[in-house]
Amino acid sequence: MSGNNESRLILALDVYERERALKIAEQTAEYLWAIKVNWPLIIGSGLGIVTELKDATGLPIIADLKLADIPNTNRLIASRVFEAGADYIIAHGFVGSDSVRAVMELGKTIIVVEMSHPGAKEFIQPATDKLVELANRLEPFGVIAPATRPERVAYIRSRLNSEVKILTPGVGAQGGKAGEVLKAGADYIIVGRSIYASENPRESARRLYEETMEV
């Protein structure tokens, strides 16, 4: 089953088990733009799951490692993950431009400029303006911003270069609403539990997809 280029829906596939991951990916692929793989799945199933998901769905794979290390270590990690077939890697910007550049030199990169949980207000939100400036200077594929705070997405959109995409986690389980955050300026929504932990992941993905198409 191949994916959907028009879709603005990214599945956060935060399960441990390889078989469950592959099954959910195949059931939902038709409605997705990409699949995001985070530490739970890599720890549970190994890095090879990246290639397996690509082969099974034909979708782009986003490796959400939230890299936050010195340039050399970021480079060591990112090179293996891109080699495994990841199309995008997510990196933290707060460690500085040299660390982010080390990832960008190897492949398409997404920078975290604000997060969706309540604790994001403590340290990350006060640094958002600077992180957006960093993104404007480096021009990565995209940035991560919180679907739980559509007004912040609108603010970030107003300051960010128009070619840089905004990807927003926090729809569903964390309280964000797809329609609101897309209207605020998000290009993509990232959804995990509302799809993979639902009784019928395919139907949940279809409903979210329809919602994004209405905006």
Catalytic residues: 64, 66, 69
Minimum CB separation of residue 67 from ligand O7M in Å reads 10
Q: Kindly write down the DSSP assignment for every residue of the chain, as one continuous string.
A: ----TT--EEEE---S-HHHHHHHHHHHGGG-SEEEEEHHHHHHH-TTHHHHHHHHH---EEEEEEE-S-HHHHHHHHHHHHHTT-SEEEEESTT-HHHHHHHHTTSEEEEE---SSGGGGTTTGGGHHHHHHHHHHH--SEEE--TT-HHHHHHHHHHS-TTSEEEEE-BSTTSB-HHHHHHTT-SEEEE-HHHHTSS-HHHHHHHHHHHHHH-
Which residue number places its CB atom closest to ligand O7M?
A: 192
The answer to the question of whether 70 is labelled as a binding residue is yes
> Is 27 one of the binding residues for ligand O7M (CB under 6 A)?
no
According to DSSP, residue 167 is labeled E
Q: Candidates 1-9, 19-27, 154-162, 167-175 — which segment interacts with ligand O7M by CB under 6 A?
A: 167-175
> Is 14 one of the binding residues for ligand O7M (CB under 6 A)?
yes
Minimum CB separation of residue 66 from ligand O7M in Å reads 6
Query: Which of 93, 140, 169, 201 lies at the binding interface for ligand O7M (CB under 6 A)?
Result: 169
When the beta carbons of 22 and 113 are compared against ligand O7M, the nearer one is: 113
Minimum CB separation of residue 47 from ligand O7M in Å reads 17
> Is 112 one of the binding residues for ligand O7M (CB under 6 A)?
yes
Contact present, 209 and 201 (Cβ < 8 Å): no
Query: Which of 3, 85, 142, 192 lies at the binding interface for ligand O7M (CB under 6 A)?
Result: 192
State the binding site for substrate: 14, 36, 64-73, 116, 169-179, 192-193
Contacting positions for ligand O7M (CB under 6 A): 12, 14, 38, 64, 66, 90, 112, 115-116, 144, 146, 169-170, 172-174, 190-194
